[in-house]
């Protein structure tokens, strides 16, 4: 690499890592990526805690269906009235 391409690559390298090279670690690309990842993890954990908080003390509700399905069964013809009742 010579000339212009070298300076472009050097400028981009300095822009992404220049803050950490100068000793200002909060502005480096790695620090920004870590803070974004940390904020995402915190938001995910808060959402999971709220979701689990809604479930505490509330057992699942049983749904009582009026019918067994889309078909009506004549249990006297099958001899299974005690099972289906």
Residue 31's contacts (CB-CB under 8 Å, 6 or more residues apart) are 19, 20, 25
Domain boundary assignment for the chain = 1-58
Q: How far is it, in rounded angstroms, from Cα 58 to Cα 13? A: 55
Tell me which residue of 17, 43, 45, 44 sits closest to 31, measured CA to CA. Answer: 17
Q: List, as one string, the DSSP characters of 59-79.
A: PPPPP--SSSSSS---HHHHT
Q: Average per-residue pLDDT in the chain? A: 76
Residue 35 has pLDDT above 70, yes or no: yes
Which pLDDT score is estimated for 85? 54
Mean pLDDT of 48-56: 80
């Amino acid at each position: 690499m010579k000339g212009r391409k070298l300076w472009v690559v050097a400028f981009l390298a300095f822009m992404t890592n220049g803050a950490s090279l100068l000793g200002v670690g909060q502005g480096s690309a790695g620090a920004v990526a870590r803070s974004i990842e940390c904020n995402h993890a915190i938001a995910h954990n808060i959402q999971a805690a709220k979701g689990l908080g809604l479930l505490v003390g509330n057992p699942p509700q049983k749904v009582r269906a009026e019918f067994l399905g889309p078909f009506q069964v004549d249990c006297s013809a099958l001899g299974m009235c005690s099972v289906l009742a």
